[in-house]
A and B are shown apart, each in its own frame.
Chain A
């Protein structure tokens, strides 16, 4: 199989990722791309404790991730590519090979406007998402598998409901 989900979620590894998506997609590994986490053994241990023992987690900074992603795409197991912010995902998309992006959780922060219960965006983040979309990447918001995916255009047009 391959990377079956490319998700932006500022909570990184948590229940929705490990259980909500992990079980129905039979996820066996997570590639967590975050420069700060990749530089901290303590942070890595924190997130590693949140996943079941049969699930591998690989912690990479953006530069290393760009080099390693072809290998993960060829992996025989199902995996999730996970970033905590839009900019990190944009940098990975720029290198190619990412067909779609799932907005799983971008929560409230000063300067952001609410788009969905779990998606808040500022102007720069909206522009970054539009930039990703212009590269042919399909973007939708969907926190859990059972939820209706909201296409980026609907999200930004405020017709997501």
Chain B
């Protein structure tokens, strides 16, 4: 937990989503969520080093089965985890994939725990999309 004063073991939050991606992306992002909010326990990080496509799909499927979560966040549209999630969601109408996740997306998601999880995921994706900001004038259009 972020400050050593997180919830007691019997208050452990119910997982609500999987976060999967390249390298340590998932662990890093979930760690950041927990550091900021103490709510990282809502997210299950999944790393896939050295796994073939079939094993990535099997791993994510197993994490969904054992946790019951219906939302998957992945890092990159073309990534192996995204491909695997798309295969898992084929023909499934009660689960959702959000590809291209960022930290603002997950922060919004973990605070929306009173909302139905699918609605929360959809809203958080929009919040995350709008949270990218460019600061500074370098490379911009010159003012007359």
| A117 to B87 CA separation, bound complex (whole angstroms) | 25
CB pair A109–B52 under 8 Å, yes or no, is: yes
Q: Nearest chain-A residue to B87 (Cβ)?
A: A46
CB pair B80–A14 under 8 Å, yes or no, is: yes
Given contact pairs A50-B77, A107-B55, A108-B55, A14 touches B50 in the complex (Cβ within 8 A): no
Q: Binding site of A, secondary structure by majority: helix, strand, loop or mixed?
A: loop
Given contact pairs A15-B78, A19-B78, A10 touches B86 in the complex (Cβ within 8 A): no
- Residue-wise, chain A 17-55 has the 8 Å CB interface mask toward B (1 for contact) of 111000000000000000000000010001101110000
Q: Nearest chain-A residue to B78 (Cβ)?
A: A50
Q: Binding site of B, secondary structure by majority: helix, strand, loop or mixed?
A: loop
B83 at the interface (CB under 8 A from A): yes
CB pair B79–A14 under 8 Å, yes or no, is: yes
A13 at the interface (CB under 8 A from B): yes
Q: Nearest chain-B residue to A14 (Cβ)?
A: B80
| A105 to B51 CA separation, bound complex (whole angstroms) | 9
B32 at the interface (CB under 8 A from A): no
Q: How far is the CB of A92 from chain B (nearest CB, A)?
A: 21
| A105 to B83 CA separation, bound complex (whole angstroms) | 16
B53 at the interface (CB under 8 A from A): yes
Q: Which residues of A contact B87 (CB under 8 A)?
A: 46
B142 at the interface (CB under 8 A from A): no
| Interchain CB contact (< 8 A) of B83 among A14, A19, A42, A108 | A14
CB pair A46–B86 under 8 Å, yes or no, is: yes
CB pair B86–A117 under 8 Å, yes or no, is: no
- Residues 51-83 (chain B) with a chain A CB within 8 angstroms: 51-53, 55, 76-80, 82-83
CB pair B53–A11 under 8 Å, yes or no, is: yes
Q: How far is the CB of A34 from chain B (nearest CB, A)?
A: 12
| Interchain CB contact (< 8 A) of B90 among A10, A42, A50 | A42
B127 at the interface (CB under 8 A from A): no
Which 9 A-B residue pairings sit nearest by Cβ, starting from the closest?
A107-B52, A50-B78, A18-B78, A14-B80, A15-B79, A11-B80, A15-B76, A10-B52, A11-B53
